[in-house]
Amino acid sequence: MISLSNVGMAFGDRFLFCDVDLILNAGNRYALVGANGSGKSTFFKLITGEETLSFGEVSIPKDATIGWLKQDQFRYEDTPILDVVLQGKPVLWAAQQERDALLLSEAWDDATGFRFAELEEIIIHQEGYQALGEMTSILEGLGIPAKYHQKPLSALSGGYKLRVLLAQTLFQRPSILLLDEPTNHLDILSIRWLEKFLKTDFQGLVIFISHDIEFINNTCDAILDIDYGEVRKYSGNYQKFLAEK
């Protein structure tokens, strides 16, 4: 759950929005809409803490995790695609890397064996032995065939690289999922797969920005509209929101 109390955000003498009071519940999918420059990306940054509120408070449970789809594919150019996705779970990734290094080590003593057992527990707790099947399913759902999964990210074109980053974010399965134009660079089959994933497989809170009205209608439970310095919540799809507004 995310709670916004009396939230305001200003740049200089211009307010993007003020006096925002909202409760966003886990398990719901919210489409964030508004004109260009209205503050949609800023709204995301306030949730992640990348921007500081002008006033008010954003409350998120301490144990909540946030996944935000960002277009930073250049940092992964030489990384195998499966490894890019696996890094969506940093704890699992680090444990597997350390465990594999121990397996290659020639020095093996009681301390090494104890640490190996600890790492195995972490991997099991992080569902590491189911990870390959899950990653494969997500990548194929987003239109990336298995023949590419062991290849470096540079083997794909720009649009498909962004699909891998989307796969990484979905594999993370955070408590709060922030998606900025997730259907960009997706074909119709991948869009339908993503709609189903968000509605049936993902259990957390989703907030997404999209100009794809059909995707909004097929996915969201409510609309968050940024307009006239306010952020208002409307239940239902985009057509219902327009009629009520």
Task: Give the confidence band of 202 by pLDDT, cuts at 50, 70, 90.
Answer: very high
Under DSSP, the state recorded for 80 is B
- Assess whether pLDDT exceeds 70 at residue 72: no
Q: How confident is the model at residue 189 (pLDDT cuts 50, 70, 90)?
A: very high
Return the ∠ at Cα 180 (arms to 234 and 70), rounded to 5°. Answer: 150
Least confident of 37-51, 142-156, 159-173, 217-231: 37-51
d(CA 130, CA 179): 25
Q: For residue 149, report the phi and psi dihedrals to the nearest 5 degrees.
A: -65, -30
Q: Are 140 and 189 in contact (CB under 8 A)?
A: no
Does position 213 have pLDDT exceeding 80, yes or no? yes
2: pLDDT confidence band, cut at 50, 70 and 90? very high
pLDDT band, very low/low/confident/very high, at 73 (cuts 50, 70, 90) = low
Statement: residue 101 has pLDDT above 80: yes
User: Does residue 36 carry a pLDDT above 70?
Assistant: yes
Q: What is the pLDDT of residue 88?
A: 94
